[in-house]
């Protein structure tokens, strides 16, 4: 029987090492030793340390954009924003070395990746940013969200998401659901127009009473 590829093991091990030591301090020797391969075999799977980092970051960007595409296009702006926030919180609440590496290392890609890789990542990140800021602006102009600086709020939401992998450990499905609910409402509470926020709170209380 053909031998099973160890590529997935290499990737998972590299992500764990990048998270623990930081990308700059991690080495291909350490990755090879930890995964139990000689260095030559490791280079068969990935030609360089930067190739591993680029793949990890690239996949996380693609997964985030895929979440955006799940948001119903025909819903009201604040409903779309709430769904997008919930999907993202749920995503980052899953324990993942790769997510932690993404948030730690994305600010340093100009230093650690080549120019073409940086350009590719920045273009896709800009696509995500444009969609999110556009939704915030649309909601504000529709009177569903308060008057706000869309760029500042977008970065603030990212800040909330970035720290979830640092402190949250999903021990049970109920714990994860609670984090998703509470962080989503925390974010939405900061951007909803006050009157709309009150209406939604009352509607939620009525739904809970009917359960």
Q: Are residues 95 and 115 in the same domain?
A: yes
Closest CA to 157 of 193, 117, 129, 121: 129
Interval 180-201 mean pLDDT: 83
Give the whole-angstrom CA distance, residue 147 versus residue 137: 9
- Output the average pLDDT for the chain: 90
Q: Indicate if the pLDDT at residue 199 is higher than 90.
A: no
**Same-domain pairing of 41 and 60:** no
Residues 99 and 28 in one domain: no
User: DSSP for 110-147?
Assistant: HHHS-HHHHHHHHHHHHHHHHHHHHHHHHHHHTTSB-S
Query: What is the model's pLDDT at position 75?
Result: 95
Q: Which strand (E) or helix (H) includes residue 155?
A: helix 150-167
Q: Which domain holds residue 25?
A: 1-47
Q: Indicate whether 193 and 176 sit together in one domain.
A: yes
Report residue 148's pLDDT band, with 50, 70 and 90 as the boundaries: very high
180 and 87 share one domain: yes
- Asked whether residue 40 falls in the same domain as residue 97, the answer is no
Cα–Cα distance list, 34 to 10, 54, 59, 205 (Å): 9, 20, 23, 52
Are 137 and 82 in the same domain?
Answer: yes
Average of per-residue pLDDT across 116-141:
96
pLDDT band at residue 1 under the 50/70/90 scheme: very low
pLDDT for position 200: 59
Instruction: From 201, 199, 89, 71, select the one nearest 138 (Cα to Cα).
Output: 71
Band of residue 84 on the pLDDT scale cut at 50, 70, 90: very high
Do 71 and 2 fall within a single domain?
no
* Residue 9 pLDDT > 50: yes
Residue 170, pLDDT above cutoff 90:
no
User: In this structure, are 179 and 201 located in the same domain?
Assistant: yes
Query: How does 156-188 read in b/e, with b if 16+ C-beta sit within 10 Å?
Result: ebeebbbebbeebeeeeeeebeebbeebbbebb
- What is 23-40 written as a DSSP string? TTT--HHHHHHHHT--HH
For residue 146, what pLDDT is reported?
Answer: 94
83 & 180 share domain: yes
Q: Which residues pair with 192 in a beta bridge?
A: 145
Average of pLDDT values for 199-209? 49
Whether residues 76 and 38 fall in one domain = no
Q: What is the CATH number of the domain that holds 19?
A: 1.10.10.60
Is the pLDDT at 81 greater than 50? The verdict is yes
Confidence of residue 5 (pLDDT cuts 50, 70, 90): confident
**What is the total count of domains within the chain?**
2
Q: Of 148, 135, 144, 150, which is closest to residue 196 (Cα–Cα)?
A: 144
């Amino acid at each position: 029987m053909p031998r099973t590829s160890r590529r997935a093991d290499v990737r998972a091990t590299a992500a764990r090492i990048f998270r623990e030591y930081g990308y700059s301090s991690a080495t291909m020797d350490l990755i090879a030793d930890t995964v139990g391969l000689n260095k030559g075999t490791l280079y068969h799977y990935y030609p360089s340390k930067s190739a591993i980092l680029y793949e990890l970051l690239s996949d996380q960007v693609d997964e985030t954009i895929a979440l955006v595409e799940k948001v119903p296009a025909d819903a009201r702006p604040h409903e779309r924003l709430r769904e997008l926030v919930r999907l993202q919180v749920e995503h980052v609440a899953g324990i993942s070395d790769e997510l932690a590496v993404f948030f730690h290392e994305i600010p340093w890609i100009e230093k650690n990746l080549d120019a073409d890789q940086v350009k590719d990542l920045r273009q896709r990140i800009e696509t995500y940013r444009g969609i999110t800021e556009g939704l915030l602006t649309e909601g504000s102009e529709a009177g569903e969200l308060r008057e706000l600086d869309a760029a500042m709020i977008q970065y603030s939401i990212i800040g909330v998401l970035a720290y979830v992998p640092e402190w949250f450990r999903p021990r049970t499905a109920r714990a994860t659901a609670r984090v998703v609910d509470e962080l989503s409402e925390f974010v939405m509470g900061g951007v909803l127009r006050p009157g709309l926020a009150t209406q939604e709170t009352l509607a939620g209380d009525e739904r809970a009473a009917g359960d």
